[in-house]
Homo-oligomer: A and B are copies of this chain.
Amino acid sequence: MGLAVFSSDALSSVAYATEAILSILILKSATSVGYQVPLTLGIVGLILIIAISYNQTIHAYPSGGGSYSVASENLGKWPGLIAGGALLVDYILTVSVSVAAGCAAIVSAVPSLHSYLVPMAVLCVAILAWANLRGVKESGAAFAIPTYGFVMSVLALLIVGMVQAMSGSLPAQANPQVIGSVGIDHHHGLYFLLARAFAAGCTALTGIEAVSNGVQAFRQPESKNASITLRWMVILLSVMFLGIGLLANHLPTLKLLPAADKEYRTLLAQIAAQIFGDKTVMFYVLQYATAAILVLAANTAFADFPRLASLLARDGYLPRPMARQGDRLVFHNGILVLAGLGGLLIVIFKGELDLLLPLYAVGVFTAFTLSQSGMVVHWLRHREKNWKYALCVNATGAFLSFVVLCIIAVTKFAEGAWIILIAVPLIVFGFHQINRRYGAISRQLAIQPGEKVDDHPHLSILLVPRVHRGILQGLEYARQLKGEVQAVHVIVNDKTVPQVRRDWDRYAPDVPLVVLSSPYRSLIEPVIDYVDELRRENRDSIITVIVAEAVATKPWHKLLQENVAMQIKTALSLRPNIIVSSVRYFLE
């Protein structure tokens, strides 16, 4: 079950990583496509090393070792913030990439939906946002079915493909034909192209850190269970990625077209069509399972984004209210920001994975590098059992992550990585500014030595439009306040003044009634003026303005009431030492 919850992001990446490698290799020439299998093997090696590296994080941080926490704890503020910023960006891209890839899987199964690719993807983001706003009950089955469905379908594909290859029913080709319509790019040498293809394939590593972030969520012993889950995840990921890579290398004629092309089909769909047969049940099962796990992967970002934002807010790098994930208003804002930006990227890049993926891996490997480097410092500081071995493993992980990050940043720079290389520093600058502001506030609010709770005199005024039950409640509340109480009536209708005076003398003869004229028939202005007068006369006093307000229950009844307290509060908002309290009475 742990596998189902934490691995959708990682496992789903096999749906697009092989295609990403091939679509770069095809740029050079059809023959360079032969490098796909060696590159895939290299990436699988990288997966294993990074996974072993993260396995150590699991044991070192049993309470959850996200990149932000590990980096800021061990490397200090700035690396932590860079990791945090990179991850926030990455969660947004997880939404865009996964939803776009999921819709691509559906379009591959049902080509007539092709022209609706972008609207479908945006709708999907909107549905995810809506479900998360409402609060989805995260049942295990909701995770297990798409994840295991996808794993089973891909494994079935690999097995059937292998059997066919061995039985000779697949035409064994020395040089498989991959046909691309992107146009051949002779600008760069072969090595640069291989580096680009490698960088493209590294998107397979996204999501690999999820288990180490969520160690807390496992059953006891947490670290051990998390470690087992990570192992299985890596095995499945490697097998599927390698298997798809080998199949792609063996199959005749695969066509790589841009998503905008009407005949566009994902590589995985083309492989499935050739092995299971086009439009067979298994073909459809694989496509829908692919779409399902990708949507699930996008959904994990909706949980991770507010969680990371909350950690950053707790440390004062994002608005403090965001720390309170549990508050609907706050949580809603996070979800809406994520969905808005994720959807925007899909629209801007027209749902083309080729355009979105170059943005994706930069953030992931930034976080990897910082997290693994943090672990190196961790071992240097803590020197637990086997620390030297552990240090070597993490150092290797950190070094490889950094090398890959550089490869990605350089080879993908022009393709879109520059956007991330600008965005992350800007975000980090934003964190810093927010933190500075909180620092300034903290200094302003610091209690000076010897400072005590003041004891200013207190004065309350109760607004009396006319005398009724609600006003008596307001009067009762006024009497709960220490100090002088005054009742204030503003003349809106001259005829009713004598009645108000009579009633007031009858029910509250002990409280003086101040009657204020209102030449322009305003209620708010005379009250403000009177409060200002009181403030001049009682310089040190705290003044409470009590407003009795009706609470209507039916919507059209609400139109007949109004929020006077709010208006007075707004009008008085820049004057200190004034409190506006509304005493509510209920109407049927």
Give the interface of A toward B (CB within 8 A).
Answer: 310, 314, 319-321, 323-329, 434, 437-438, 440-442, 444-447, 451-456, 458, 467-470, 472-473, 475-477, 479-483, 492-493, 507-508, 518-525, 542, 544, 550-551, 557, 559-560, 562, 567, 573-574, 576, 579-588
The answer to whether A520 touches B579 (Cβ under 8 A) is no
Query: With A and B bound together, what is the CA distance between A220 and B522 in angstroms?
Result: 27
Cβ-neighbour of A584 out of B314, B438, B525, B576 (below 8 A) = B576
Chain B residues with CB below 8 A from A310, complex form: 521
The answer to whether A479 touches B453 (Cβ under 8 A) is yes
Q: How far is the CB of A323 from chain B (nearest CB, A)?
A: 5
Chain B residues with CB below 8 A from A442, complex form: 468
Query: With A and B bound together, what is the CA distance between A584 and B470 in angstroms?
Result: 26
The answer to whether A480 touches B482 (Cβ under 8 A) is yes
The answer to whether A584 touches B588 (Cβ under 8 A) is no
Chain B residues with CB below 8 A from A542, complex form: 476-477, 480
Query: With A and B bound together, what is the CA distance between A453 and B510 in angstroms?
Result: 12
Q: A441-B587, A482-B480 are in contact. Are A469 and B453 (CB under 8 A)?
A: no
Residue of B nearest to A319 (CB): B560
Query: With A and B bound together, what is the CA distance between A567 and B332 in angstroms?
Result: 14
Q: A475-B453, A587-B444 are in contact. Are A551 and B525 (CB under 8 A)?
A: no
Query: With A and B bound together, what is the CA distance between A557 and B559 in angstroms?
Result: 33
Query: With A and B bound together, what is the CA distance between A480 and B483 in angstroms?
Result: 8
Query: With A and B bound together, what is the CA distance between A93 and B586 in angstroms?
Result: 39
Q: A438-B560, A523-B324 are in contact. Are A476 and B492 (CB under 8 A)?
A: no
29 contacts between A and B (CB under 8 A): A310-B521, A319-B562, A324-B521, A324-B524, A325-B520, A325-B521, A326-B518, A327-B523, A327-B524, A328-B524, A437-B557, A437-B560, A441-B587, A445-B585, A446-B468, A447-B467, A447-B468, A451-B469, A453-B475, A453-B476, A453-B479, A455-B479, A477-B542, A477-B579, A480-B482, A480-B542, A551-B573, A579-B583, A580-B581
Cβ-neighbour of A476 out of B323, B456, B467, B469 (below 8 A) = B456
Q: A444-B588, A458-B480 are in contact. Are A326 and B469 (CB under 8 A)?
A: no
Q: How far is the CB of A304 from chain B (nearest CB, A)?
A: 15
The answer to whether B581 touches A576 (Cβ under 8 A) is no
Query: With A and B bound together, what is the CA distance between A560 and B518 in angstroms?
Result: 39
Query: With A and B bound together, what is the CA distance between A195 and B550 in angstroms?
Result: 53
The answer to whether B560 touches A320 (Cβ under 8 A) is yes
The answer to whether A579 touches B582 (Cβ under 8 A) is yes
Q: A453-B475, A492-B314 are in contact. Are A326 and B522 (CB under 8 A)?
A: yes
Excluding A326-B523, A452-B507, A576-B586, 15 further A-B contacts by CB distance (< 8 Å) are A324-B523, A324-B524, A327-B525, A328-B524, A434-B560, A440-B588, A445-B585, A447-B468, A454-B472, A455-B476, A455-B479, A480-B481, A573-B584, A579-B581, A581-B581
Q: A522-B327, A551-B574, A573-B584 are in contact. Are A319 and B559 (CB under 8 A)?
A: yes
Q: How far is the CB of A490 from chain B (nearest CB, A)?
A: 9
- For the complex of A and B, the 6 pairs showing the least CB-CB separation, nearest first, are A326-B522, A326-B520, A445-B468, A458-B480, A326-B521, A321-B562
The answer to whether A323 touches B492 (Cβ under 8 A) is yes
The answer to whether B325 touches A550 (Cβ under 8 A) is no
Chain B residues with CB below 8 A from A440, complex form: 588
Query: With A and B bound together, what is the CA distance between A453 and B562 in angstroms?
Result: 25
Query: With A and B bound together, what is the CA distance between A459 and B581 in angstroms?
Result: 15
Q: How far is the CB of A421 from chain B (nearest CB, A)?
A: 25
Residue of B nearest to A456 (CB): B476
Query: With A and B bound together, what is the CA distance between A582 and B395 in angstroms?
Result: 53
Chain B residues with CB below 8 A from A483, complex form: 480
Q: A314-B492, A522-B327, A523-B327 are in contact. Are A447 and B469 (CB under 8 A)?
A: yes
Query: With A and B bound together, what is the CA distance between A402 and B468 in angstroms?
Result: 44
Query: With A and B bound together, what is the CA distance between A469 and B323 in angstroms?
Result: 22
Query: With A and B bound together, what is the CA distance between A455 and B320 in angstroms?
Result: 40
The answer to whether B567 touches A327 (Cβ under 8 A) is yes
Query: With A and B bound together, what is the CA distance between A109 and B323 in angstroms?
Result: 65
Q: How far is the CB of A20 from chain B (nearest CB, A)?
A: 38
Chain B residues with CB below 8 A from A438, complex form: 560
Query: With A and B bound together, what is the CA distance between A310 and B522 in angstroms?
Result: 11
Chain B residues with CB below 8 A from A518, complex form: 324, 326
Query: With A and B bound together, what is the CA distance between A588 and B445 in angstroms?
Result: 11
Q: How far is the CB of A553 from chain B (nearest CB, A)?
A: 8
Residue of B nearest to A306 (CB): B521
Q: How far is the CB of A535 from chain B (nearest CB, A)?
A: 14
